[in-house]
Structures are given as C-alpha cells and as structure tokens.
Structure 1
Amino acid sequence: MGEHGVSPGLATVGPVSGWAVERYDSRHVWLGALTLFLTGSVLCGLAWNVGSLIAFRVLQGIGGGLLLPVLQTLVMRAAGGRSLGRLMAAITLPVMVVPILGPVLGGLIVGHLSWRWIFYVNLPVCLLALALAWRGVPKDTPRLGLATLVYGLSETGVARASAIPVGAVLIALFARHALRVRDPLVDLRLFQDRAFALSSLLAFLNGLTLFGGMFLLPLYYQQVRGEGVIAAGLLLAPQGLGSLLARVTGPLTDRLGPRPVVVAGMLLCALGTLPFLFPHPGAALLAVALVVRGLGVSAANMAVMVGAYQGLDRARIPHAGTSIRIVQQVGGGVGTAVLATVLAHGHGGTAFPHAFAWATAFTVVACGVGLCLPVRVASAELPS
C-alpha cells in the first residue's frame, strides 16, 4: 500500500471493475480477482528483495482492487433493490472491521512470526472464498490518471508537487472523454442523480475520516502514549467492536432511509474523536471513545452505500459500485495527506491535538452534507 494506507494500485484497477462486469461474466471476474489476490499474496510471501515485493504487491493490488466493487455488484443485482441496509451491513462490515483490527493481527504476526506470514495468512481465506464462489456465485449475461493523483497524495516533497497536478489534469481529460462517449469506463452521468452525487460526496468525506483515523491513531498511541506496536494494535481493538455493533444500523437504514443514519453516525464519530484533542485522557475513556468512533464511522459508511444504490436500475449498478469506491479511495488519500501535513508542521504537544481537530472538522462537514440527502430515496425493485 501507499505510505498512508491508500494504494495507487487499488485506485488504478478500481475504475476497470464496472467495465469488466458489463463485458464479461461477473462470476468469472470475481473468481479471477480472487485468484490474482491469492497468487499475489503467495508471491509476496516468497519475495526475495524489495523490488520483487513491490512487483508482487502490484499484482495483489490488482486482484484486491476488483474484489469489493464486484462483490457489491453481485449482491445488489441479486437483491433486486430489497433490504439494501441489511445487505450493505453484511458487505461493508468486513471492510470496516479488518483495517481497524489489522494492526492487532499485524503486530502479533510481526512480533512472533516472520513478516512473510502477513501475506500467507490470506491463503486459507482465499481458498475458502474460491470454493464457495465456484459453487454459489451465479453467472451473468455480460454486457491511469487516478493512480497518479493518489500516488501524489500519499507521497511528499517533489513527488507530491509533480504527481498531483499531473494526476488532476489526466482526470480532467478523462472526464471530458467519458462525457462524450456512449459507453465510458466510468459512467460520470451517474452524478446527475442528486442522491448518488450527495452519497459520493459523503463517501469522499467518510474516506477522509476512516483512512485519516487509520493513519493518526496508531501513531498517537506509539508516539504520544509510548506504546509498542503490539500494544498499540490491541488498544485500537475497541474500534473494531464499535464496527461490529454498527451492523444493527442496517435494518434501521431500511426503515428510516440513509439520511438520519449518516448524520447520527458522523456525530458519533466526532464525539468519539473529541477525547483525543485533550492532554492525557485516561485509557478507559479512550477505549470507550474508540467504540463510539468505530460505531459512527461504520454506520455512516453503510448508510452512504445504501443511499448510493437506492433507486438505480440494474444496468447502472456496476458503474455505481466503481464510482463510489474511487471517490472513497481519493478521500482516503486526501485525508491522510492533510493530516500528515498537519502533524509535520505541528509543534511539540500540539501536533496531535491539531490533527485530531482537523479529523473532527471532517465529520462536522459530513454531517452538513448528510442533512442534504433525500429523506427517503425511491427504491424501486430491480429487474432480475
């Protein structure tokens, strides 16, 4: 991954997922993505130097970048527009919990085993997923500028100064082309739908909050509170508990619509971040704050995804999944870049409080955008 947890490899392949699902059997795209991720994981574990590890991580990133958007497409199409909140809770829960609990597992592996096992641990999971997908996933009837920008956001100095404007220009050229052709790689016309456009903006802001927190919190525990890698990972585990609790908000989103759940989730995230702004908060207070923060971020993320898919017809679902993931990845790159800059220019004991204040401000802005969502988006049943 990139320095701050956002991978240019994932950003590169993300836009391809909707195009691939439309032109090939989505079952084969899913199986192919799993196979690439599995192969890349094995090769990363066998890497003999830094160069080979980077090359194999690119391969792993190609597979990993396809997995979630293709999975969302498969599930949303199968759902036919029904119970999107419950389904999104099931889909996004691992995505929210694993990055939060990852430092715990990673710290334990690095502390007690070889670093190669960070990659080998993927093998049994991927093999099980391949077996289940081969038997259970139905067949469908088939129908580089972003990476440069994300790379620039994840780097510093000259690399950032040159990559960001180049990436922005390439994205602008792509947008101009996509709006002119009939069947673009990414369907930008989706953003003409008010609910989808607002959900995409919220996905961007949620990416700021999620990836920004993933960047800040481990550093806080290690640099401010003097904890080791394993201890810091264990102290972050309550955030994973909060994400698990957020699963109950899926049915709530189905009943009330995305808007109240998004706003409540972002408010909880802001509340859970506030204790980190003050000097020497107690360990028990921080643990409770992390539970609240994890609950808020995960609940908001699920509701945002529901808002993005509601009301879309079957043909637009692959492109919707692609677009929403792109926006969230870019939000993560921007969030980590902003918070890294705040930390780098901070002074002494004020650096982390200022950075957490910025993180809190992101969530406040997201609350304002969330209030603009429709009260309830029409969720017409999708054709099977």
Structure 2
Amino acid sequence: MVVLGAVMSILDVTVVSVAIPKFMETFDATYARVAWTMTGYTLALATVIPLSGWAADRFGTKRLYMLALFLFTVGSGLCATADSINQLIGYRVLQGLGGGMLMPLGMTIMTRAAGPQRIGRLMAVLGIPMLLGPICGPILGGWLIDVATWHWIFLINLPIGLIALIYAQFALPKDHTEPSESFDFIGMLMLSPGLALFLFGVSSLPEEKTISANKVWIPMLVGALLVIGFIVYSFKPKHPLLDLRLFKNRRLTVAAVSLFVFVIAFMGAGLLFPSYFLQVRGESTLDAGLLMAPQGLGAMLTMPIAGMLADKIPVGRTVPFAMALIAVGFFSFTQVEPDTSFLMLEGSLFVMGLGMGGTMMPLMTSALKTLTHQEVARGSTLVNILQQIGGSVGGAVMSVVLTSKTGDAPTVPGTTNPVTGQPLSITDLAVASHQDPRVAQMPGGPELIDRGLHFLADSFASTYWVGFVLVLATFIPIAFLPRKKEVSHLADDQTEGAAPPVMMH
C-alpha cells in the first residue's frame, strides 16, 4: 500500500513530461510556460517535505498519510478540469502538496516496520517506484495521450487514490501519538519559503536563459539567505523543523551527500533521454517511453540483489561498482548523432539501469541504517528533501545547458513560430518535420532539416557531457562510504515504550 502511494507521487513527476507538446497545443502556450506544470509540482514537493517529519510525530503517520493521499487525489481530479495553463499549474501545486508527503511518510512507515535486519531489502522494495517512475511515467503518459486525451494522465489517479485511501484505513493500525514536540514556526518561516524561492529562481533559468535576470537571481538570493539563516538557527531549538544535528552521524552525512550528488547528475540528465527520442529521432510519445524500458529492466535485475547485499556487505564495497556501470552507459549518450544505433542506445540504458538498481537504495539504506527509532522520521525527511533539491537543481541545470545550446541555432528567414511570433530556427524546423511531412517540401527543406537534426543532436551530446562529468564527480563522496559492517540502531524499537511496529503491505 505504501509503495502504491509512492508510485502515484513519482509517476506524476514524469508522466507530464511527454504531455508538454500537447499542453502547448491545447493552451496555446510556450514551452517555458508549460514547463511550470512540472516545476510547480516539484516546488510544492520541496516546500511540504520539511513539515512531514514533525507532522508525522505530532498527528501520527496514518492520519497524515491518508491526508496526503486525499490531497493528491483531489489535486489530480482538479488538474483534469483545467481550462487554462495557469489553472493547471495551480492545481499541480495542490497535487504536489499531497505528493510531497507520500514518499517521506512511506519511508517512515516501512522503516519502522522492517526491523534492523531487513532495512536493506525494505529499501529495495521502496526503491521500485523511485527507479521505475521515470521509465513507466513516459510510457503511461504516451499511451494515454495516444488512445484517449491528456486529461486521463490525471484521471487515472482517481480510482487508484480511492482504493489506496480505503485500503490505508483498514491496513494501517491506529496511530499511537505521544505528547507532541513544539512546532518550529520560525524554522518553517525560513526553510519552506527559502526552498521554494531558491528552486523557483533555479527553475526560471531555462526560460530567462541568464542568471542575471531579476526573475532568477533575486529569488535565488533571497531563498539562499533564508536557507542559510535556517541552518544557523536550526541548532538552537530543541526540536527544529529539520534536524541538521543528524549530520553529526558521519555515515548518514556521507551517504546523504553521495545521494545528493548522484541525484543531481543522473536524474537531471535522465529527464532528457526521452526528449532525445522525441525531438531528434521523431518517435511518438508512446515509443519514446517504451525505448526507456531497458533502463527499468536493468534496475529490476539488480535492485533486489543490492537490497540483500546492503544488509550483509558495507555499501562502500558495492556502490562504486554500480556507479562505474552508470558512467560506462552514460558515456554513450555523449556521442549521440541523429542516426545513432538504437541497439547501442538501448544497451547503454540497460547498463545504466543495472547501475541504478545498485546505487540509490543502498545509499538510502546506509543513510538510515544507523538511526534510532526516534530519529527515523526526521532522518527520512532529511534524505528526501536533499533528494528533491538535487533533482530540481539537476533538472534545471540540464535544461539551461540544452536551452542555451539550441538557442544558438540559426533562424530560417521567412518563417514564423505561431506561438512566439519569432522566426523559426533550423532545430524548430527539424522537430516540426517529424509531425508535418510538408516541411520537407519547402525550398531547401531537406538540407535545413538535416542541419537542424545534427545541430539538435550536438546540443543533446554537449548537455550529456555535463551530466557525465557530474556522474564522475559522484565518485568523490562515494569514496568515503563505510567499508566496514554498519551497526543498526533500529533495534531500539524493541525497547519498552517504543511505538508498535506498523504492518507492511
């Protein structure tokens, strides 16, 4: 049941990616504007995650989990009714407020339930939606758009959310809340707005194309100052909103930093893999999603093995090998051309999937394994917010690099973009040729299309080089991962007065 909630949350981060062209057409909006349907969702996630640790302790995981499911489901229904792009963005924010709590709460419920000897295998189970979401999302979104309408990428959440709510009511035992800790209002007023402003500025980079734009640097600066202020302040109250004292645990710190760098590198560039198939190769939304399947298959093979090994072998001995597989597979995408062999690309995605399955969950296992029962909720919140920030920063960085590269493409005289009113570039013409064969019949059409496809492929290759360098940078914090057997403190759950375990489903 917990995995079901996580699947819905993560799928909706990626399922919208293939619907962006449809939103542009339906709402007559630019790409930069439509991209906020994804950005608004992730901003809401980052804003609400810091509150989940305290709220779980105060109100109980069952009540809060069901509230998150309810908000997510209602938000999904409202998204399907949107009549304008601004409405859709607003409803996506509401959806993200619920979705942001599902993953950290799910991790808390399952970590407390697993016991000290099974946390590695537990993380492998919880990792299924985290690793397969980026693969299944584009496939599901492409299929629904092809056979129905874009509304169904949101409507499909309604029956799933209803079933999950009913099941949670009966499957999860009643909450046994203890006297609540005082709520850190000062911390909330600094951290949540600070994160939202900083990520808003970062996410505005692809649209503004320069960090000197007021829409970029002002929210980034104000957000950074608020976050820095929170960091300084958070060591003063007894119960801070985000417990940075947990970083005194060296193993948690090393694992969290490794995970943060990994997410920036891999998730940021990973969002661009379907875009290459859509824009350069001219594949349909469904086929582009299906072409990502080998990555999921590779992850499915190694994830259970990595989960079992994480309970027996220090992650410092296994994760470097998994990261090496990711680096090898990633390198192939730095060489992409308009006609690169699909066999090579699919093989590279499979190898990267093998590495993914052996990297993310062992890192999370290492981060949470040395925490006590009382620290689990705060620890999972800390890990999740670092992961969310890393994904947002990585996605923005990769988008900025790709946008700046494609923005240098020469324009075609005598053509006009119907949305922006600006002359079409050779890359715009190349992408348009996939949907409209008449483009090739215009004077000089075949030559312009060929130039555009090569320019676009080179832009993707340059962007993947940035991602590849970041992947290599991940080896630095990974080198400090523990190479000796870790001692789990979750056995403290069994002490007198500890909260009863939650049944796993």
Q: TM-score, normalised to structure 2's length?
A: 0.73
- Partners of 1:290 and 1:244 lie apart in 2 by 13
Q: Are residue 49 (structure 1) and residue 105 (structure 2) matched?
A: no
- Indicate the residue corresponding to 2:356 in structure 1: 297
Task: Give, in angstroms, the shift of residue 4 of structure 1.
Answer: 9.3
Q: Are residue 244 (structure 1) and residue 300 (structure 2) matched?
A: yes
Distance 1:166 1:92, change over 3 A: same
Q: Deviations over 1:243-295 (max 9, x none)?
A: 22232211011111222332122111111111112244311111111111122
Contact 1:267 1:363 in 2 (8 A): no
Contact 1:311 1:377 in 2 (8 A): yes
Deviates more, 1:236-245 or 1:67-76: 236-245
Deviates more, 1:87-96 or 1:131-140: 131-140
- Partners of 1:371 and 1:5 lie apart in 2 by 34
Q: Which has the larger radius of gyration?
A: 2
Query: Which residue of 488, 492, 505 corresponds with 1:382?
Result: 492
- Partners of 1:135 and 1:75 lie apart in 2 by 16
- Partners of 2:86 and 2:466 lie apart in 1 by 36
Aligned residue for 1:256, secondary structure, equals: coil
Deviates more, 1:185-194 or 1:331-340: 331-340
- Indicate the residue corresponding to 1:354 in structure 2: 462
Task: Give, in angstroms, the shift of residue 62 of structure 1.
Answer: 0.7
Task: Give, in angstroms, the shift of residue 151 of structure 1.
Answer: 1.6
- Partners of 2:151 and 2:280 lie apart in 1 by 29
Aligned residue for 1:182, secondary structure, equals: coil
Which blocks of at least 5 consecutive residues in structure 2 are unaligned? 1-12, 14-34, 181-192, 409-454, 495-505
Query: Which residue of 272, 278, 281 corresponds with 1:225?
Result: 281
**Paired AA for residue 284 in structure 2:** G
Aligned residue for 1:373, secondary structure, equals: coil
Q: Are residue 24 (structure 1) and residue 59 (structure 2) matched?
A: yes
Deviates more, 1:188-197 or 1:330-339: 330-339
Distance 1:314 1:191, change over 3 A: same
**Paired AA for residue 55 in structure 1:** G
**Paired AA for residue 239 in structure 2:** D
Normalized per residue, the structure richer in helix is: 1
- Partners of 2:319 and 2:135 lie apart in 1 by 20
Distance 1:319 1:111, change over 3 A: same
- Indicate the residue corresponding to 1:88 in structure 2: 123
Aligned residue for 2:312, secondary structure, equals: helix
Aligned residue for 1:332, secondary structure, equals: helix
Instruction: Spell out the pairing of 1:1-384 with structure 2 (5 A cutoff).
Output: 3=36, 5=38, 7-138=42-173, 139-142=175-178, 143=180, 144-156=193-205, 157=208, 158=213, 159-248=215-304, 249-280=306-337, 281-346=340-405, 348=455, 349-375=457-483, 376-380=485-489, 381-384=491-494
Task: Give, in angstroms, the shift of residue 383 of structure 1.
Answer: 1.6
- Partners of 1:4 and 1:53 lie apart in 2 by 7
Aligned length: 384
Contact 1:241 1:291 in 2 (8 A): yes
Contact 1:104 1:230 in 2 (8 A): yes
Task: Give, in angstroms, the shift of residue 108 of structure 1.
Answer: 1.3
Contact 1:9 1:62 in 2 (8 A): yes
Q: Deviations over 1:208-256 (max 9, x none)?
A: 1342133221222123323232221221121121222232211011111
Deviates more, 1:333-342 or 1:61-70: 333-342
Contact 1:77 1:314 in 2 (8 A): yes
Aligned residue for 1:48, secondary structure, equals: coil
- Partners of 1:160 and 1:100 lie apart in 2 by 30
Contact 1:100 1:214 in 2 (8 A): no
Contact 2:76 2:157 in 1 (8 A): yes
**Paired AA for residue 127 in structure 1:** L
- Indicate the residue corresponding to 2:189 in structure 1: none
- Partners of 1:80 and 1:382 lie apart in 2 by 9
Deviates more, 1:161-170 or 1:134-143: 134-143
Distance 1:50 1:341, change over 3 A: closer
Distance 1:310 1:59, change over 3 A: same
Q: Deviations over 1:179-230 (max 9, x none)?
A: 1111111101111111111111112122213421332212221233232322
Contact 1:206 1:297 in 2 (8 A): no
- Partners of 1:210 and 1:274 lie apart in 2 by 12
RCO (CA 8 Å, sep 6+): is it higher in 1 or 2? Answer: 1
Task: Give, in angstroms, the shift of residue 298 of structure 1.
Answer: 3.2
- Partners of 1:344 and 1:46 lie apart in 2 by 31
Distance 1:130 1:152, change over 3 A: same
Contact 1:77 1:382 in 2 (8 A): no
Deviates more, 1:60-69 or 1:292-301: 292-301
Task: Give, in angstroms, the shift of residue 5 of structure 1.
Answer: 4.8
- Partners of 2:195 and 2:262 lie apart in 1 by 19
Distance 1:182 1:261, change over 3 A: same
- Partners of 2:263 and 2:369 lie apart in 1 by 20
- Partners of 1:235 and 1:20 lie apart in 2 by 40
Aligned residue for 1:345, secondary structure, equals: helix
Q: Deviations over 1:138-171 (max 9, x none)?
A: 2232441111111222112232222211111110
Q: Deviations over 1:348-370 (max 9, x none)?
A: 35322222122122222212211
Q: TM-score, normalised to structure 1's length?
A: 0.94
Aligned residue for 2:237, secondary structure, equals: coil
**Paired AA for residue 145 in structure 1:** G
**Paired AA for residue 478 in structure 2:** G
Task: Give, in angstroms, the shift of residue 54 of structure 1.
Answer: 2.3
